[in-house]
């Protein structure tokens, strides 16, 4: 079966959105967990954005040796040089060069002609290839780029040495049929050259980032760029957990596989919420507190008889703790605190007291309190850490 590579950009596109900035230690901690999740590439930052970002990419590259580390650069020499410097300590590295290619971006943002854009792509991809073994090129705003010009852009990038071509729907405007058709046309034009991988990068402004990414896979794309919990610019990126679980549950339909260890999805999601203080919505697919909670009596009855009646994914398969807690009058708060930690929540004493009251009330009714019940209660009770607004935000692919 064909493999779809998972390019995680939680530490770059995700981190650059307001309220999600992470310090270097936090980035390293999350990068280690991304390695445990077995993603194929970790994009660790945008080194030209600040000295701090450059140092963070360097540290991640030093600490995480088992996964290739990527760094982002505009198609400018100082950007590429900063990324090359940041990637020096990496065991395996990828330079990610981007340039906007839609007429709107070229005219309004870059004040460049199409010819100048082609020249910049060629020279910067070539320059990067002299220092880094693998170069990815992204045509920012590809989704709104004239298809004929986009084909020329892809040809120029490949001729200059790029082996991954990423065609982002930067503004979240595409619908699945259109987005897939764009890749089909580019493949026809390029003739599927050996060693070149097409990549999707979708934003969720219309709630279609995951659907668009999956349409791209059907059109032959073999790398998806996504983030944990779907964090990212504006409405966010395609959610990694939704993409990989969809490809796994509907394997027969897509005919592809990923290397992701699904049982690490929930722990990774919870580590990110713990680091950033921003919880996922309770109804979020795969990792939301209610994703496996069954409220209606008919559903509960079905689940008890056979989980397949209402569950297409078992909670254990994506790493939701299976442990149930028998909480009675004599159970301690410490047991509850431990159970909360397992679920990724660090409760204050006041919060613990409130969760305890509600959990014991539930235990009075049903004796057995499952991890998913505790999760739902914790989500309502435990306060968020105040969001940190990113001091600087730089727009990127
Ligand atoms: Mn993006």
381 CA from centroid of ligand 1 (Å)? 32
Q: What is the pLDDT of residue 342?
A: 74
Number of other CB atoms surrounding residue 93 within 10 Å: 23
Residues 107 and 176 in one domain: yes
Single out the residue in 276, 310, 325 at which a domain terminates: 276
- Pick the last residue of a domain from 244, 276, 308: 276
Q: Are residues 241 and 212 in the same domain?
A: yes
Q: How far apart are CA 127 and CA 12, in angstroms?
A: 22
Question: 23-75 pLDDT, tens per residue?
Answer: 999 999 999 999 999 999 999 999 999 999 999 999 999 999 999 999 999 99
Q: Dihedrals φ, ψ of 367, to 5°? A: 65, -55
One domain for residues 362 and 268: no
327 pLDDT more than 90 = no
Residue 285 placed within a domain: no
Q: How far, in Å, from the CA of 278 to the mean position of ligand 1?
A: 19
pLDDT of residue 61: 98
| Residue 196 Cα to ligand 1 middle (Å) | 21
pLDDT in tens, 90-106: 999 999 999 999 999 99
Please report the pLDDT score of residue 388 as a whole number.
37
For residue 329, pLDDT over 60 is answered with no
Q: Which CATH number do you get for residue 96?
A: 3.20.20.70
What per-residue confidence (pLDDT) applies to 299?
67
Q: How far is the CA of 171 from the centre of ligand 1 (A)?
A: 8
Residue 11 lies in a domain: yes
Specify burial of residue 89 (Cβ count, 10 A radius: 0-12, 13-18, 19+).
middle
Instruction: Answer yes or no: do 180 and 301 share one domain.
Output: no
What is the CA(18)–ligand 1 centre distance, in A? 14
Q: Is residue 238 part of a domain?
A: yes
Burial of 78 (0-12, 13-18, 19+ CB in 10 A): exposed
Of 12-26, 59-73, 231-245, 327-341, minimum mean pLDDT range: 327-341
Distance 208 CA to ligand 1 centre (A): 14
On whether residue 288 sits in a domain, the answer given is no
In a domain, 208, yes or no: yes
Work out the pLDDT band at 394, boundaries 50, 70, 90: very low
Å from CA of 32 to ligand 1 middle: 22
Among 51, 76, 66, 61, which residue's Cα sits nearest to residue 11? 61
Shared domain for 44 and 70, answered yes or no, is yes
Residue with tokens 């032959």: 220
One domain for residues 44 and 109? yes
CA–centroid distance, 70 to ligand 1, in Å, is: 14
Q: Are residues 234 and 315 in the same domain?
A: no
- Number of domains present in the structure of the chain: 2
- Together in a domain, 80 and 9: yes
Nearest alpha-carbon partner for 66 in 32, 95, 100, 89: 32
Task: Compute CA distances 131 → 87, 222, 301, 310, whole Å.
Answer: 10, 25, 61, 52
Three-state SS for 112-175 is CCHHHHHHHHHHHHHHHHCCCCCEEEEEECHHHCCHHHHHHHHHHHHHHCCCEEEEEECCCCCC
Q: What is the mean pLDDT of residues 133-145?
A: 97
Is the residue at 17 inside a domain? yes
Distance 68 CA to ligand 1 centre (A): 19
283: in domain:
no
110 closest CA partner among 119, 118, 122, 101:
101
Q: What's the CA-to-centroid distance between 141 and ligand 1, angstroms?
A: 9
Name residue, tokens 């064909």: 2
The CA–CA distances, whole Å, from 315 to 51, 280, 307 equal 41, 17, 10
- Residues 248 and 377 placed together within one structural domain of the fold: no
Q: Please tell me whether residues 49 and 114 are part of one structural domain.
A: yes
Q: Please identify every residue whose CB atom is under 5 Å from ligand 1, which is an ion.
A: 13
Please give the mean pLDDT across all residues of the chain.
90
Q: Are 134 and 108 in contact (CB under 8 A)?
A: no
294 C-alpha vs ligand 1 centroid, how far in Å? 35
Q: What spacing in Å lies between the alpha carbon of 71 and ligand 1's midpoint?
A: 13
237 CA from centroid of ligand 1 (Å): 7
Between 337 and 301, the more confident residue is 337
Q: Ligand 1 mean position to 126 CA, how many Å?
A: 23
% the chain with pLDDT above 70: 90
pLDDT in tens, 305-319: 777 787 788 888 999
CA dist 103 and 292 (Å) reads 45
* pLDDT (average), residues 270-296: 85
Looking at the fold, whether 272 and 297 belong to one and the same domain comes out as no
Residues 335-390 have pLDDT tens digits of 788 778 877 788 889 999 999 888 888 877 776 677 778 888 888 888 644 433 33
Residues 71 and 176 grouped into a single domain:
yes
Q: How far apart are CA 35 and CA 90, in angstroms?
A: 14
Please state the rounded mean pLDDT for residues 215-224: 98
CA of 296 to the centre of ligand 1 (A): 39
Compute, in angstroms, the gap from residue 385 CA to the centroid of ligand 1.
25
Q: What is the pLDDT of residue 361?
A: 85
**What pLDDT is attached to residue 300?**
64
Confidence of residue 330 (pLDDT cuts 50, 70, 90): low
Q: What is the 190 CA–ligand 1 centroid distance (Å)? A: 24
Helices and strands per DSSP (H, E), number in the chain: 15, 12
Asked, for residue 251, whether it belongs to a domain, the answer is: yes
- Distance between Cα 152 and ligand 1 center (Å): 22
**Final residue of a domain: which of 276, 310, 334?**
276
CA of 266 to the centre of ligand 1 (A): 23
pLDDT confidence tier of residue 137, bands split at 50, 70 and 90:
very high
Element of type H or E holding 52: helix 51-63
What residues make up the domain containing 101? Answer: 2-276
Note the Cα 147 to chain centre separation in Å.
Answer: 27
């Amino acid at each position: 079966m064909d493999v779809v590579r998972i390019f995680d950009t939680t530490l770059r596109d995700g981190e650059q959105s307001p309220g999600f900035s992470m310090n270097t230690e936090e980035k390293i901690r999350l990068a280690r967990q991304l390695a445990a999740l077995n993603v194929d590439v970790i994009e660790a930052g945008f080194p030209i954005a600040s000295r701090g970002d450059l140092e963070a990419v360097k540290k991640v590259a030093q600490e995480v040796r088992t996964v290739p580390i990527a760094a982002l650069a505009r198609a400018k020499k100082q950007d590429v040089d900063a990324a090359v410097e940041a990637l020096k300590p990496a065991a395996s590295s990828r330079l990610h060069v981007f340039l906007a290619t839609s007429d709107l971006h070229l005219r309004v943002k870059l004040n460049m002609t199409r010819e100048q854009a082609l020249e910049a792509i060629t020279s910067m991809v070539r320059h990067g290839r002299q220092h880094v073994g693998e170069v990815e090129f992204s045509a920012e705003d590809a989704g709104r780029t004239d298809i004929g010009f986009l084909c020329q852009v892809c040809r120029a990038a490949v001729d200059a040495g790029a082996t991954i071509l990423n065609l982002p729907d930067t503004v979240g405007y595409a619908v699945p049929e259109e987005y897939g058709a764009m890749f089909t046309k580019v493949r026809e034009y390029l003739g599927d050259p050996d060693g070149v991988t097409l990549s999707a990068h979708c934003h969720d402004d219309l709630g279609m980032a995951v659907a668009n990414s999956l349409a791209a896979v059907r059109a032959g794309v073999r790398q998806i760029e996504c983030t944990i919990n779907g964090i990212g610019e504006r409405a966010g990126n395609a959610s990694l957990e939704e993409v990989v679980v969809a490809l796994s549950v509907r394997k027969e339909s897509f005919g592809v596989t990923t290397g992701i260890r699904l049982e690490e999805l929930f722990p990774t999601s919870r580590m990110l919420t713990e680091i950033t203080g921003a919880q996922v919505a309770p109804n979020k697919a795969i990792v939301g507190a209610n994703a496996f909670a069954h409220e209606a009596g008919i559903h509960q009855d079905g689940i008890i008889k056979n989980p397949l009646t209402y569950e297409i994914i078992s909670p254990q398969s994506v790493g939701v703790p299976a442990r149930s807690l028998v909480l009675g009058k004599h159970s301690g708060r410490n047991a509850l605190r431990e159970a909360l930690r397992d679920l990724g929540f660090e409760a204050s004493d006041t919060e613990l007291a409130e969760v305890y009251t509600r959990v014991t009330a539930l235990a009075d009714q049903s004796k057995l309190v499952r991890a998913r019940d505790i999760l739902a209660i914790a989500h309502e009770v435990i306060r968020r850490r105040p969001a940190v607004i990113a001091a600087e935000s730089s727009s990127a692919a």
